Structure 1
Amino acid sequence: MDINNRFIDNMDNPHELERMFRIEPEAFKKSFSYAWEQNPDSQVLAVWFERLHFKETVNTEKASLLQKDFLFMGILAFLAGISTRIIMHFVEQQAISPIILVFGVLPFIATYFVYKNSANKNILYTLVALFLISGIYMNMLPLENKDSIILAYLHLPIFLWVLVGIAFTGNEYGMGRTRLAYLKFNGEFCILYASMAISGMLLTALTMQLFSFVGMDISEFYFENVVLFGAAALAIVAAYLVSSNLKLAKNIAPYIAKIFSPLVLVTLLVYLITVIWVGKNPFLDRNFLLSFNGILLSVLAVTIFSITESGTDEKKSISDYINFGLIVLALIIDCVALSAIVFRLSSYGITPNRLAVLGVNILICANLIWIMLSYMRFILNKTGPSTIQDAVTKYLPVYGLWAAFVTFIFPLIF
């Protein structure tokens, strides 16, 4: 039977029309044009007309937008690579601190998000001012290994990360769902960047080997120029790919969260039992106390990553109970760490390091309690998962404010 006649004969059979479209989409479109001319009053064909033509219009607009985004991303990636190489030159001359290298990447990622989200002028001016003030201030600090300056260096990336978050959320910076999207972006960004970085390392190894065959050692030049430039530019590319809804990272991230959460829980339990068994004391051992805080931050990061990737499913799963267990263990670790820090402060006096560690532990403790209580209400069927996500997203500005305080005020106080 002629496909045009078959199309007309099945006009009242939606299932058959859908089947014909999926088998031979191009032939279907030609037959549709013929049938539409013969039956302009058909409601079924009117729906198909809107479906086919609306889809083509959206694709055209999307393709044009992606081309503009791609071009802008390419320019920013090139500028990030060049800027990072220039900053590295001054770092090698010991004229500036190595932490200034973050200004070769993060401002360009923020610029891309401001462009993509069409942020209003107030947000744009605020971000430009804060990035400039941060850069000028950090370069004014003396190149000394004082505790307050080292703390400022360590907290600067956190503060700038919050600024990138403001650029990402754009005009909706106060909404929980956009902050949650930013946290998801970070997880997917890390996965994608690591994947591409591994590919880059393989390419680097191959390049080194090929040139060694002809008796040339290009390692110094290659690492100082190509690798450094590529590492900075790759960050912009990864941000573009993740924000363009790349399916690879979005599909992998939830599985990584489900795999790592139970592994971290088991590892942490074994570690704590071992610590008790061997009699390690964080109250007296400074290095052990620092490692304790490092574990705390790692567990908090894994827990938040798992929460952001859990979605909005009202049904509880084994992952929720694992996350709850992680939060309880992290809270126990934090309480021990807080006790040890207070003990050291009362015994040995106030120092920038002790005050900074005390502050961040208090902030984490409050955040963990909020998340734990939200999880308890969710497990008891009193609330949905959104309350847990709110406990994570609404607390983010607090970390940013603390990072800003340590970065800008600690060097002045101490």
Structure 2
Amino acid sequence: MNDDALRTGLEAQIDQWRGFVRRRRAITSADAAEMEDHLREQVADLNDGGLDDDEAFLVAVKRMGNLDEVSHEFAREHSDRLWKQLVLVPQGTPDDGAPGGIGRFRDLGVLLSLAIGAGIALKILLMSATDETTLLLNGPFLVLPFLAAYFAWKRALPLRATAVLLSAAAILALIVNLYPFDLGDPTDPYPQPGMTVLLAALHAPVVLWLLLGVVYAGGHWRSDARRMDYVRFTGELLVYLALIQLGGMVLTGLTFGVLSLVGIDFDPFVQDWLLPFALPGALLVAAWLVEAKKSVVENIAPVLARVFTPLAALMLLAMLVALLAGGPLESVDRELLILMDAVLLVVLFLLLYSISARDPLAPPGIFDQLQLLLVGAALAVDAVALTAMLVRIAEFGFTANKVAALGLNLILLVHLAWAGRLTFGFVRGSRTFVATERWQTGYLPVYGAWALVVAVAFPPLFAFA
């Protein structure tokens, strides 16, 4: 093996180590950079002593000590810093070198400007759209680019990469808007749109979210650590977004109640102005909070995943018993099959977020066995659901939603089956945990590819009905 290949392998190992270090709450980005410099110095010294890159890396990491102990030591020495990070504008020096307060206020100013821009775009769409389907189809194309612009600015994404990603999103938006979808009878007060437009509206945001992931990773989407960072960001974003929305609903309800007592109708303002700006604003502010606080509270989603993993395993086992005892598979309700797909996706998220917080160097434990049980139960439920779908297709024929659900189940089956194989090997001690982590993040683009097929290819294949 030549020197370039060895160096590439070393950089991959350091990249993985860096992602592991950054998961430690007490270790900031500056701390991680300092530790990485020390690690590289150790590797260089060991290289000079005759060791190759792999051997030097292993010895250097061993000399660095247990990272849990290092994290606890940082927590003891910098407890004041950790508490300060819990306030809105922490002190210190962020990655860009600007003073902490100035840097945070600048980031927040840029983000709020983008949030206002997203609100204006959504307001224009609300004023021009003639039906709810158009809103559902175009809303993500008007909001997510503003979040992508924030991360492109934060990551200093090269202009060429930004143009490519923006062009891909624009082409997708152009395609789904030029398609002659069946939007239902316009004279009907409650028009029933065709299935392909609903499928496009549900799957296009998945493609956009993965494109956003490339921006979030600074263009380094091939890095396992960067993909896992994005998975972790997505989970934390959902938690923050739920909290912001819950607080917003409470405040809006109280305001509505107070104003109604004095004879002021607050509803038109909520419908016409508050919602168009609050919805994208909540998304962007939640993203900013995740970025600002990830060194302190980055493990909320994984902790929730650990709490709900045993409950999800019990739920899947109960579902499996109910399905097997519920009579012939062709009698299974379509809504039940859709609900099962949603449950399987939740199981996948639980696995991802549990993995994102796990120490890859720790030996297998009881929670790994519990995850293996969860994967096994999910596989059994997926197999039953897949069989029921095939039976329904054989009896009633192909439709767009049936084929979309069938494809998703096949993708989930492959994902879960290989994840189960790797987890079983890890529990037995014949495989490393790194293989499981790489598989989970490396498989994510498959979902994006299938979502793209459903959004772009399904409408013409099924006559836009």
TM range (shorter): 0.7 to 0.9
Report 1:307-386 matches (<5 A): 307-386=355-434
More helix by share: 1
Would the alpha carbon gap of residues 349 and 65 (structure 1) be closer, same or farther in structure 2, given more than 3 Å must change?
same
Report 1:273-292 matches (<5 A): 273-279=321-327, 281=329, 284-292=332-340
Deviation at 1:402, TM superposition (A): 0.9
Mapped partners of 2:426, 2:405: distance in 1: 31
Deviation at 1:400, TM superposition (A): 0.8
Deviations 1:348-378 (A, max 9, x none): 3322222212211111111111211111121
**Residue 224 in structure 1 maps to residue 262 in structure 2:** no
Mapped partners of 1:58, 1:398: distance in 2: 33
C-alpha contact (below 8 Å) 2:330/2:392 kept by paired residues:
no
Report 1:35-54 matches (<5 A): none
Report 1:262-273 matches (<5 A): 262-273=310-321
**Residue 132 in structure 1 maps to residue 190 in structure 2:** no
Which residue of the partner structure matches residue 59 of structure 2? none
Deviates more, 1:235-244 or 1:140-149: 140-149
C-alpha contact (below 8 Å) 2:203/2:451 kept by paired residues:
yes
Q: Give the partner amino acid of 1:74.
A: L
Which residue of the partner structure matches residue 68 of structure 1? 106
Report 1:133-152 matches (<5 A): 133-141=171-179, 142-144=181-183, 145-152=193-200
Mapped partners of 1:198, 1:241: distance in 2: 16
Mapped partners of 2:331, 2:358: distance in 1: 36
Deviates more, 1:324-333 or 1:215-224: 215-224
Mapped partners of 1:155, 1:375: distance in 2: 29
Would the alpha carbon gap of residues 159 and 337 (structure 1) be closer, same or farther in structure 2, given more than 3 Å must change?
same
Deviation at 1:399, TM superposition (A): 0.9
Mapped partners of 2:196, 2:97: distance in 1: 54
Residue identity over aligned pairs, in percent, reads 29
Deviation at 1:263, TM superposition (A): 1.4
Structure 1 unaligned regions, length at least 5: 1-21, 26-54
Q: Give the partner amino acid of 1:71.
A: G
Which residue of the partner structure matches residue 102 of structure 1? 140
Deviation at 1:143, TM superposition (A): 4.9
TM-score calculated relative to the size of structure 1: 0.81
Which residue of the partner structure matches residue 128 of structure 2? 90
2:156 paired residue among 118, 125, 140: 118
Deviates more, 1:339-348 or 1:203-212: 339-348
Would the alpha carbon gap of residues 117 and 90 (structure 1) be closer, same or farther in structure 2, given more than 3 Å must change?
same
Task: Say which SS state the counterpart of residue 170 (structure 1) adopts.
Answer: coil
TM-score calculated relative to the size of structure 2: 0.72
**Residue 201 in structure 1 maps to residue 239 in structure 2:** no
Task: Say which SS state the counterpart of residue 171 (structure 1) adopts.
Answer: coil
Q: Give the partner amino acid of 1:395.
A: Y
C-alpha contact (below 8 Å) 1:110/1:168 kept by paired residues:
yes
Deviation at 1:278, TM superposition (A): 4.2
Deviates more, 1:149-158 or 1:186-195: 149-158
C-alpha contact (below 8 Å) 2:237/2:287 kept by paired residues:
yes
C-alpha contact (below 8 Å) 1:282/1:288 kept by paired residues:
no
**Residue 162 in structure 1 maps to residue 210 in structure 2:** yes
Deviations 1:276-315 (A, max 9, x none): 3444735653333333323222222222232223343422
Q: Which has the larger radius of gyration?
A: 1
Mapped partners of 1:239, 1:202: distance in 2: 21
Q: Give the partner amino acid of 1:98.
A: L
Which residue of the partner structure matches residue 15 of structure 1? none
**Residue 81 in structure 1 maps to residue 129 in structure 2:** no
C-alpha contact (below 8 Å) 2:125/2:135 kept by paired residues:
no
The alignment yields a C-alpha RMSD, in angstroms, of 2.5
Which residue of the partner structure matches residue 445 of structure 2? 397
C-alpha contact (below 8 Å) 1:282/1:337 kept by paired residues:
no
Kindly tell me the number of residue pairs found equivalent between the two proteins. 363
Deviations 1:206-245 (A, max 9, x none): 1111211211121232233113311211111111111223
C-alpha contact (below 8 Å) 1:147/1:353 kept by paired residues:
yes
Task: Say which SS state the counterpart of residue 298 (structure 2) adopts.
Answer: helix
Q: Give the partner amino acid of 2:371.
A: N
Deviation at 1:346, TM superposition (A): 2.9
Would the alpha carbon gap of residues 276 and 369 (structure 1) be closer, same or farther in structure 2, given more than 3 Å must change?
closer
Structure 2 unaligned regions, length at least 5: 1-76, 81-91, 184-192
Deviation at 1:193, TM superposition (A): 1.1
Q: Give the partner amino acid of 2:445.
A: P
C-alpha contact (below 8 Å) 1:283/1:343 kept by paired residues:
no
Deviations 1:68-119 (A, max 9, x none): 3222112111111222222222335569342311123211111111111112
Q: Give the partner amino acid of 1:367.
A: H
Deviation at 1:204, TM superposition (A): 0.3
Deviation at 1:192, TM superposition (A): 0.9
Mapped partners of 2:407, 2:249: distance in 1: 38
Would the alpha carbon gap of residues 194 and 56 (structure 1) be closer, same or farther in structure 2, given more than 3 Å must change?
closer
Deviation at 1:60, TM superposition (A): 6.2
1:189 paired residue among 233, 237, 260: 237
Task: Say which SS state the counterpart of residue 337 (structure 1) adopts.
Answer: helix
Q: Give the partner amino acid of 2:252.
A: T
Q: Give the partner amino acid of 1:99.
A: L
Mapped partners of 2:294, 2:340: distance in 1: 36
2:260 paired residue among 212, 236, 256: 212
